[in-house]
Amino acid sequence: MSDQVSAPPQMVNVQINGVWHEFPKGTRVIEACEKAGSYVPRYCYHKKLSSPGNCRMCLIEMGLPKMGPDRKPELGPDGKPLINWMPRPQISCAQDVSEGMGVRTDSPLAVECRKGVMEFLLINHPLDCPICDQAGECRLQEFSVEYGSAESRFLENKVKKPKNIELGPRVTLDDERCILCSRCIRFCQEVAQDDVLGFVDRGSHSVLTAHPGKRLENNYSLNTVDICPVGALTSSDFRFQMRVWFLKETKSFCTSCATGCNTIIGTREDVIYRQTPRENDAVNSCWMCDYGRLNFGYLQSEKRLLQPEILSGDKLIPAEWSVAITHAAVQLKHFSGWEIAILASGRMTNEELWLTSQLAKTLGVESIDIVPRHGPADNILLSADRNPNTNGARLLGVTSQPGARLPEIVQGVASGRIKALVALGENPIEIGLTVAQITALPAFIAMNILANDSTPAATALLPSFGFAEKRGSMINGKGRLQRLNRAVRGPGQARDDWEILRDLIQACSGRNGIYSIEDVFRQMSESVPQFAGLSLSKIGDLGVQILENAGSPA
């Protein structure tokens, strides 16, 4: 690593399929081939893990420069070194490039050898693709098309191995499908730092299993399902739920902690079926934690708020959006800024936080803060700050020290100074208020996704969207601006949070010239220097670093 900083990497010349390329020294041959445009099939090799070289699928033909009697490479008519081809194929995953090396990825020898490897792998592999969850994204299926044979020459009985084993609370194993690539074992050793998996027994009877008395239950266990090239490891949560070819994939990021791991949300007909990590070397490499990955069920929960409601007499009744917004605005305008408190959330996007600060400015509110959330950090990916956008809330002036103003708000409600409370995606009971105190407030405007103990006390209830239902941006714990994309439509009458806030500001102060979320971002980028020159589309799929040395989460 350090020599990369001090000096440019030394480049070596490599001939791949007859064309000379330059690669930095230390590049794996398999990576060099991929960069040169010829993908070498592989099962055991994963670029973020060590190379054991045990699947033998990435065989290539390789050669080194022909040396003359003077120990100098002999040059051909084109001035390039002549290559001494090795008689037998080599694996490309455990070999680094060297000066004058020659590689043939699709020579008859290499292709014939891969066909042989494929035949061996398929000897004991069950033909249960119709029920296998991996079907459609299975490497074995894909390479069978290129290197497999339509008919098996194997007449004997296939080896029977254990099926449908619970390796851990979230992972189910089918040993018959396993091709013994050891990716999952290496992942647990090298990334999750929880060495629980291993192979036992020999030869054809070799099986993957957990260490006796242990289970695959670390918080990163589901990554083994992602990297499993076949359907041996399956997610117990996603198992048999939906075939992968139906899933619409939306690039997004995880909002369960301040790390903001990049994800792909798999949906079909407005139902989320799974979340998988998306490679971003600046954030999460190829991984994400199980906690964040499975934290989407609440969007399809029974407790979703579906209809705006207003307090009429002594009970909440369903209302049109325009009525609910006007109702809320009238209540807010009735009080002075001193009598209003806004409870914002570190789970809101930058756009929503910006509009929240505009709303606070319009009403003259000083008592505004977000609710901090903490949990144990694990030094891998999971951050101690469980709010995805604390940095955004700081940058946009919604809070300076998350949670610092909360005691003041609680005190204000208790003493009767605060007469109107606006809770945006937060439950005021969590900061220490009681249901009785909230019910006693003359105005309690609640915008939220799910119903909670405080929602029956609302004077205006505004159902909003979850992270997969809206667009927007957030700043992660390391100061990287990332973008949420809409994967599903929101349920019922629920509305996008920024629209609700925009309408609320308009109802309080008249027109504000915001018609789309791009308008919100434009206004924000005009006032906040860190966003200057950016737009939602310019953030891109991998995000933009906008804060240097962002403070560690409070």
Partner 1 sequence: MAITVSRPKLNWRERAYLPAILSGMAITIKHFRNMLFGRTKVTMQYPEEKWDNQMPEHYRGAPALVRDDTGRVRCVACQLCEFICPPRAIKIIPGEFAAGDRFAKVEKFPQEFDIDMIRCIYCGLCEEVCPEQAIYLRKDYAITGFTRADMVHNKEKLLEIGGVMHGVVLKWNEKK
Q: Interface residues with partner 1 (CB under 8 A)?
A: 126-131, 135, 157-158, 160, 163-164, 239-241, 243, 245-246
Instruction: For residue 482, give both structure tokens.
Output: 């990332």
Q: Which helix (H) or strand (E) holds 14?
A: strand 11-16
Which of residues 7 and 127 has its CB atom nearest to partner 1 in the complex?
127
276 DSSP assignment? E
Helix axes 517-527, 497-509, angle to 10 degrees: 70
CB of 334 to partner 1, least distance (A): 51
Question: By the 8 A CB rule, do 481 and 539 touch?
Answer: yes
**Hey, what amino acid is at 303?**
K
Taking the CA atoms of 55, 57, 58 and 63 in sequence, report the sign of the dihedral they define: positive
CB of 126 to partner 1, least distance (A): 7
Which of residues 245 and 515 has its CB atom nearest to partner 1 in the complex?
245
Q: Of the candidates 253, 91, 256, 274, which has an alpha carbon nearest to the alpha carbon of residue 170? A: 274
Question: By the 8 A CB rule, do 444 and 421 touch?
Answer: yes
End-to-end CA distance of the chain: 30
Which of residues 130 and 510 has its CB atom nearest to partner 1 in the complex?
130
- Whole-angstrom CA distances from 505 to 33, 362, 443 are 56, 7, 17
Which of residues 38 and 236 has its CB atom nearest to partner 1 in the complex?
236
CB of 130 to partner 1, least distance (A): 4
CB of 234 to partner 1, least distance (A): 11
Alpha helices for 58-161 (secondary structure H)? 108-123, 139-147
552 DSSP assignment? P
Q: What are phi and psi of 261, to 5 degrees?
A: -55, 135
Which of residues 234 and 476 has its CB atom nearest to partner 1 in the complex?
234
CB of 173 to partner 1, least distance (A): 13
Which of residues 149 and 164 has its CB atom nearest to partner 1 in the complex?
164
Which of residues 88 and 163 has its CB atom nearest to partner 1 in the complex?
163
CB of 127 to partner 1, least distance (A): 7
CB of 131 to partner 1, least distance (A): 4
338 DSSP assignment? G
Which of residues 5 and 127 has its CB atom nearest to partner 1 in the complex?
127
Residue 294, judged by CB atoms within 10 A of its CB (0-12, 13-18, 19+), counts as: middle
**Hey, what amino acid is at 90?**
Q
Alpha helices for 340-395 (secondary structure H)? 350-363, 390-395
Neighbouring residues of 448: CB distance < 8 A, sequence distance ≥ 6: 305, 423, 424, 425, 426, 427, 455, 461, 462, 463, 464
Instruction: For residue 84, give both structure tokens.
Output: 């001494």
Neighbouring residues of 1: CB distance < 8 A, sequence distance ≥ 6: none
Which of residues 157 and 549 has its CB atom nearest to partner 1 in the complex?
157
Which of residues 55 and 228 has its CB atom nearest to partner 1 in the complex?
228
Which of residues 126 and 198 has its CB atom nearest to partner 1 in the complex?
126
CB of 266 to partner 1, least distance (A): 15
Cα separation, 437 vs 541, whole angstroms: 44
CB of 158 to partner 1, least distance (A): 8
SS (H, E, C) 24-81: ECCCEHHHHHHHCCCCCCCCCCCCCCCCCCCCCCCEEEEEEECECCCCCECECCCCCE
Which of residues 204 and 411 has its CB atom nearest to partner 1 in the complex?
204
Q: What angle do CA 336, 339, 341 make, to 5 degrees?
A: 115
Which of residues 164 and 516 has its CB atom nearest to partner 1 in the complex?
164
Instruction: For residue 401, give both structure tokens.
Output: 């020290």
Cα separation, 455 vs 305, whole angstroms: 10
CB of 136 to partner 1, least distance (A): 9
CB of 213 to partner 1, least distance (A): 23
Neighbouring residues of 321: CB distance < 8 A, sequence distance ≥ 6: 308, 493, 495, 503
Strand intervals (E) in 404-456: 420-424, 443-448
CB of 243 to partner 1, least distance (A): 5
Which of residues 223 and 235 has its CB atom nearest to partner 1 in the complex?
235
CB of 181 to partner 1, least distance (A): 23
CB of 240 to partner 1, least distance (A): 5
Question: By the 8 A CB rule, do 349 and 524 touch?
Answer: no
Q: Of the candidates 226, 233, 227, 229, which has an alpha carbon nearest to the alpha carbon of residue 208? A: 233
